[in-house]
Amino acid sequence: MKAISIGLLGLGTVGTGVVKIIESHQDKLMHQIGCPVSIKKILVKSLSKERQVPVDSSLLTERVEDIVEDPEIDVVIEVMGGVDETRSLLLTALQNKKHIVTANKDLMALYGPELLSTATENGCDLFYEASVAGGIPILRGLVDGLASDRITKMMGIVNGTTNFILTKMSKNGSAYEDVLKQAQELGYAEADPTSDVSGMDAARKMAILATLGFSMTIDLDDVKVHGITEISKDDLEYSKKLGYTMKLIGIASREGEKVEVSVQPTLLPETHPLASVNDEYNAVYVYGEAVGETMFYGPGAGSLPTATAVVSDLVGVIKNMRLGVNGRSTVAPQYPKSLKAPEDINAKFFIRLHVSDEVGVLANITSIFSEHGVSFDKILQLPLKQKESSEIVLVTHRASLFNFENIMQELIDNPRVKEIKSTYRVEGEGAI
Amino acid sequence: MKAISIGLLGLGTVGTGVVKIIESHQDKLMHQIGCPVSIKKILVKSLSKERQVPVDSSLLTERVEDIVEDPEIDVVIEVMGGVDETRSLLLTALQNKKHIVTANKDLMALYGPELLSTATENGCDLFYEASVAGGIPILRGLVDGLASDRITKMMGIVNGTTNFILTKMSKNGSAYEDVLKQAQELGYAEADPTSDVSGMDAARKMAILATLGFSMTIDLDDVKVHGITEISKDDLEYSKKLGYTMKLIGIASREGEKVEVSVQPTLLPETHPLASVNDEYNAVYVYGEAVGETMFYGPGAGSLPTATAVVSDLVGVIKNMRLGVNGRSTVAPQYPKSLKAPEDINAKFFIRLHVSDEVGVLANITSIFSEHGVSFDKILQLPLKQKESSEIVLVTHRASLFNFENIMQELIDNPRVKEIKSTYRVEGEGAI
């Protein structure tokens, strides 16, 4: 039987894993899809560079046309990264009737809808499981659950670098800068960690998840993002004292027709399933009206885990090819985009303040909250070493983001408030 | 467009959920599969019984032929339970070219291979996601992972009743009998809890998981089973002291071509992802050579969670119908069955002993282990209130089950050993 021919765009960490898996799993691939799979061409930046995996040098090319315009190539696997050039390459490949498997979250978060509709127009599959939480089959999980359930909330730990940093800060009481340095030495963080620690990487993944899970086109700009760079040791200590664990959480929630998608440091009760997801691991917690709570846990990155997701997608494409049903599995968004206003977003909030140490200050502060109809779940007041100051930690009951932001403005303007040290969302307690 | 006609066998807890979901999700079903779905007939034991859900009484029937022999019914959903009669019903339905979705673990554990091959012969789909861990899409996760990875170990908390009991025993220090009674009152345990607490229910699910994950027909008789009825408060206390959490764990592991499938109370390090799966929740931890550790978490039972899995399978069947590709997605077992002998099974073991309180007893006991080449990870020796006895708790390093069983025999015969109070496997530390 004729082999399926693959063109591979990129031979970095993930590309190397894909080559390894396709070579070492020929038997299993044959058993599942009934025909051999062979890599025909691999696009690389430089033919002369040394490779991490032994590759027949005749497979390598520096010319994109050797892949996207070769009529013998059936499936293009894109693991080269990048956005604009890659987008145009993949559009060409789709117009040339090649199916696509991609691990590129940046691309899918920005141009997913365009690429998916181009794929459908050309009768091609475009699968992108590896773009979110590498080794976790979360996109398939969502698609499977969609028809029989209504997903109302997703919370994800979808960035391994920041989860590694927060886990170490929390366990060892270390400062952010020290742990970041350690993470860079261990290879868990890039030399320029901005994309991870700013929350942008997580935001891209949440845009992809929300678009699929809510069947609504969510653009990257719709995602409110706050990173982990300002989290202090004190914040982590107080969280622990109050029974919480700090995580960088991507939230996609829906009430009625309106959705909110955001990424921010968030406090979760220690008993929440996401609270025990540690180190570089990822997890996506999904709440469906019928199924209730489910969670998918696994490695979010890495050569072989991500390559596994890519090859699973490839198997899906090839099964569809053999059945002659490519291009039919994409489900177009069903609902028009409708974003929540701050009035519609409800959560509990953690606030840490430094206030002047005078009679009646706590009563004064808390009255500001109650004027906005916000009451408290937990209150801690502690003296500070600096004279004439105390520290107040408050955890509210559920309140709207609108009310919370107004309260914060009043606190900034209040002469008794010396400094708002930090504020965090609190999730995973009670109401979904 | 012509509606897809469903015949429903059974209208109990899960059947009621299926009716509710199909009725309330018509829009979403239409969006995903492009045609309406309607329930044509529902088999019930008695037409006159009161129903938990409003159902048009003209849909109800007591005659199986109204479903399995009605040429207009496309898909039979089996949620009636039972084994022998149900098997023959489903074989008839398959011979009449009806696709099947079943939630029946007892049936699939005993007759899965026969039913699946009959389905393939008749060009029919037979899906059974709901038979293992209700709301968790674990079977699809395994199938997706199979082609691109080699699964070497699965560990599952796949019985909600026993997990509820062990969680409460562990948290509140309560005795087994008391918690069982409480679980029965809350509806988490049956009046006759034997199938759950004996481990048999978990064993059925592990047989299904192992058959799929290892691509090898594993019969229920191949699963070694030990239940939770003998677990004492003392065992749980010592586990905690040593940093472990006790869970009823189904293990399916593979080394080379040989596999072991078993269910037993097992100690896991508190930091293991499975250790924080509490109450009635289920989870399946999967180790793949390429992907590493993944875990699927969610509700293992319940009307709507299980019905969600059934309807997701139904959507899969209908998509295949519309593509004309039914009966092609079953992957026949690839390998002949090969079970590990006790010599091939390696684990760490926890042993709690009462011994006579005399000089040299610990040296005597430990020398028995070392004669069999088994060394220790942890040793605790404590005096007992009863005169002239002490309690010894040992945790070994990894050892073969064969050596461990020989050591136990020698300890039984040893006059200084008054009683072997308990032994447990220890998993999740180090070697897979």
Residue range A253-305, pLDDT digits in tens:
999 999 999 999 999 999 899 999 999 999 999 999 999 999 999 998 889 99
Judge whether A273 is closer than 8 Å to chain B, CB to CB.
yes
Mean pLDDT score, A362-384: 92
Domain assignment present for A336: no
Q: Is residue A335 part of a domain?
A: no
CB contact under 8 A, A325 and B325: yes
Residue ending a domain, among B299, B332, B355, is B299
Q: Provide ipTM, 2 decimals.
A: 0.89
Q: Which of residues 312-351 of B touch A (CB under 8 A)?
A: 312, 314-316, 323, 325, 328, 331, 334
Structural domain that includes position B67:
4-134+303-323
Q: How far apart are CA B299 and CA B320, in angstroms?
A: 27
> Which B-chain residues 28-67 have CB contacts (< 8 A) with chain A?
28-29, 31-33
Q: List A residues 152-211 in contact with B (Cβ-Cβ < 8 A).
A: none
Cα nearest neighbour of A294 on chain B: B298
Are B294 and B307 in the same domain? no
- For residues B398-410, give the mean pLDDT: 97
Residues A97 and A156 in one domain: no
B interface test, pick of A136, A294, A314, A330 with most B CB neighbours within 10 Å:
A294
Q: Vertex A234, ends A229 and A237: CA angle to 5°?
A: 115
* Least confidently predicted of A168-182, B5-19, B29-43: B29-43
| Bridge partner residues of B8 (DSSP) | B42, B77
In the listed set A272, A291, A323, which residue is the last one of a domain according to the structure? A323
How confident is the model at residue A431, as a pLDDT? 57
Listed residue (B42, B39, B33) closest to B60, CA to CA: B42
CATH number of the CATH domain containing B413: 3.30.70.260
Per-residue pLDDT, averaged over B283-312, amounts to 93
User: Which pLDDT belongs to residue B51?
Assistant: 84
Residue B312 pLDDT class (50, 70, 90 cuts): very high
Alpha carbons A421 and A297: distance in angstroms, whole number:
33
Instruction: Give the span between the Cα atoms of B429 and B432, in whole angstroms.
Output: 8
Contacts of B334 in chain A (CB under 8 A): 28, 31
Half-sphere exposure of A384 (CA within 13 A, CB side): 18
Are both B117 and B248 inside the same structural domain?
no
Task: Establish whether B421 is a catalytic residue.
Answer: no
Substitution target from A27, A143, A148 for chain B, most B beta carbons within 10 A: A148
According to the model, what pLDDT value does residue A331 have?
67
Same domain, B228 and B179: yes
B287 and B143, same domain (yes or no): yes
Interface of A with B in 124-163 (CB under 8 A): 135-137, 140-141, 144-150
One domain, residues B317 and B371: no
Top-confidence range, A151-165, A290-304, A320-334, B417-431: A151-165
The nearest CA of chain A is from the CA of B272 a distance in Å of 9
Name A296's bridge partners.
Answer: A284, B296
Distance CA B83, CA B195 (A): 15
Looking at the domain assignment, is residue A399 inside a domain?
A: yes
Lowest mean per-residue pLDDT among A330-339, B190-199, B224-233, B263-272 = A330-339
Token output for A398 = 């559920």
Q: Is B257 on the interface with A (CB under 8 A)?
A: no
Residue B203 lies in a domain: yes
Percent of chain B scored above 90 by pLDDT?
Answer: 81
Banded pLDDT at B431 (limits 50, 70, 90): low
The residue-averaged pLDDT of A118-132 equals: 95
How far is A391 from chain B, CA to nearest CA, in Å? 33
B306 interaction partners in chain A (CB closer than 8 Å):
none
B29-64 pLDDT tens trace: 887 788 899 999 999 999 988 888 889 999 999 999
On average, the pLDDT of chain A sits at: 93
**B311 assigned to some structural domain:** yes
Q: What is the pLDDT of residue B214?
A: 94
| Best A138, A150, A280, A291 residue to mutate vs chain B (most B CBs within 10 Å) | A291
User: Within this chain, do residues B234 and B353 fall inside the same structural domain, yes or no?
Assistant: no
8 Å CB contact of A294 and B25: no
Per the listing, tokens 């696997």 go with A77
pLDDT of A332 above 90? no
Is A330 among the domain residues?
no
User: Are residue A33 and residue A113 in the same domain, yes or no?
Assistant: yes
B269: pLDDT strictly greater than 70: yes
A302 with B292: Cβ contact below 8 A: yes
Which helix (H) or strand (E) segment holds residue A412: the answer is helix A401-413
Q: Which of A128-137, A228-237, A280-289, B96-105 has the lowest mean pLDDT?
A: A128-137
CATH code (residue A200): 3.30.360.10
Checking phi first, is residue A334 left (phi over 0); if not, alpha (psi -120 to 50) or beta? alpha
B-chain residues within 8 Å CB-CB of A141?
137, 140-141
B299 close to A (CB below 8 A): yes
> Does A273 lie in the same domain as A145?
yes
Q: CB–CB of B147 and A33 under 8 A? A: yes
Check whether residue A259 and residue A276 sit in a common domain: yes
Pair B102, B114 in one domain: yes
Give a yes or no: residue B337 inside a domain. no
The single-letter code of the amino acid at A48 is S
Q: Are B253 and B427 in contact (CB under 8 A)?
A: no
Q: Check the annotation: does A247 bind a ligand.
A: no
CA distance A40 to chain B (A): 19
% of chain B residues with pLDDT over 70? 98
In a domain, B331, yes or no: no
- Which pLDDT value is given to residue B432? 57
B144: confidence class by pLDDT, cuts 50, 70, 90 = confident
Q: Are the Cβ atoms of A290 and B273 closer than 8 angstroms? A: no
Q: Do B298 and A294 touch (CB under 8 A)?
A: yes
Domain count, chain A: 3
**A14-51, pLDDT tens digit by residue?**
999 999 999 998 888 887 788 899 999 999 999 988 88
Domain end: A261, A288, A323, which one? A323
SS (H, E, C) chain B: CCCEEEEEECCCHHHHHHHHHHHHCHHHHHHHHCCCEEEEEEECCCCCCCCCCCCCHHHEECCCHHHHCCCCCCEEEECCCCCHHHHHHHHHHHHCCCEEEECCHHHHHHHHHHHHHHHHHCCCCEECHHHCCCCCCHHHHHHHHHCCCCEEEEEEECCHHHHHHHHHHHHHCCCHHHHHHHHHHHCCCCCCCHHHHCCHHHHHHHHHHHHHHCCCCCCHHHCEECCCCCCCHHHHHHHHHCCEEEEEEEEEEEECCEEEEEEEEEEEECCCHHHHCCCCEEEEEEEECCCEEEEEEEECCCHHHHHHHHHHHHHHHHHHHHHCCCCCCCCCCCCCCCECCHHHCEEEEEEEEEEECCCCHHHHHHHHHHHCCCCEEEEEEEECCCCCEEEEEEEECCEEHHHHHHHHHHHHHCCCEEEEEEEEEECCCCCC
The residue annotated as part of the active site, out of B41, B98, B153, B205, is: B205
Residue of B nearest to A145 (CA): B312
Pair B152, B280 in one domain: yes
Would you tell me how many other CB atoms lie within 10 Å of the CB of residue B388? 10
Query: What is the crossing angle of helices A138-146 and B303-323, to 10°?
Result: 90
Confidence of residue A424 (pLDDT cuts 50, 70, 90): very high
The answer to whether A267 is a known ligand-binding residue is no
Check which CATH number belongs to the domain holding B30 and give it: 3.40.50.720
B305/A299 Cβ within 8 A: no
**Residue B333: band (very low, low, confident or very high) from pLDDT cuts 50, 70, 90:** confident
Q: How many residue contacts between A and B have a Cβ separation below 8 Å?
A: 177
pLDDT beyond 70 at B75: yes
